[in-house]
A and B are shown apart, each in its own frame.
Chain A
């Protein structure tokens, strides 16, 4: 198994957080995070964001923020560039 580089880690971090990564790959991922301060910080930030946004309720958002989010999703084009 070859080691992971930072760019690859960024690409697969969602798989890691959603537990969609085989154990051998998770091991490589965690080995990389163990020595790479940038990726460690990035992982911490992602985990913090998920924790924070996971505890948000609809009423916690101001009407302006809710409208902005709805607009963003409405205009989102997954096939766009």
Chain B
């Protein structure tokens, strides 16, 4: 199956620190796939906003299974191609879009979170700083209405998938 993967610079996995091999070469796990424990992990477009990192790649998974919403795990996977559209410029666009989406939030915590998002948007880059803005905006949405956090994250992920051209993988 096709999926997406955010990596640190140099194709390094953000949590395990494993360096993925060159595109086309398989990365294999020596243990049966298990969420957050073992196996090659990747994303579906629905959850992109939560996991931003410096590099975004299209990946191919052999025997992948969705084990949590938007998260797929497989015994092996390989990089197909880097998504060049994900860069500092589009990251800032994303951050601005997140902040604008919660502009005009009601006074109190919602407005405070929205203001934080707006204040941080211009400094966002293609790393955790962009996802932090999305996180603040999602909190503004949650403070506005229960369930707003998840709804905002879903909107942000759709925005990213469309903008980066990875809505259909």
Q: Which residues of A contact B (CB under 8 A)?
A: 19, 23, 26-27, 30-31, 33-37, 40, 47
Asked if B131 CB lies within 8 Å of chain A CBs, one says yes
Q: How many A-B residue pairs have CB under 8 A?
A: 40
> Which B residues lie within 8 Å of A19 (CB)?
37
Size category of the B interface is 10 to 19
List 18 interface pairs A-B (beta carbons < 8 Å), by A numbering. Answer: A19-B37, A26-B37, A27-B36, A27-B68, A30-B36, A33-B15, A34-B14, A34-B50, A34-B53, A34-B128, A34-B131, A35-B131, A35-B132, A35-B134, A36-B128, A36-B132, A37-B132, A40-B128
> Which A residues lie within 8 Å of B68 (CB)?
23, 27
Interface string of B112-155 (1 = CB under 8 A from A): 00000000000000001101101100000000000000000000
What is the minimal beta-carbon distance from B48 to any residue of chain A, in angstroms? 11
Q: Within the complex, which residue of B36, B50, B53, B131 is in contact with A26, where a contact is CB–CB below 8 Å? A: B36
A23 to B135, CA, bound (A): 22
> Which B residues lie within 8 Å of A31 (CB)?
50-51
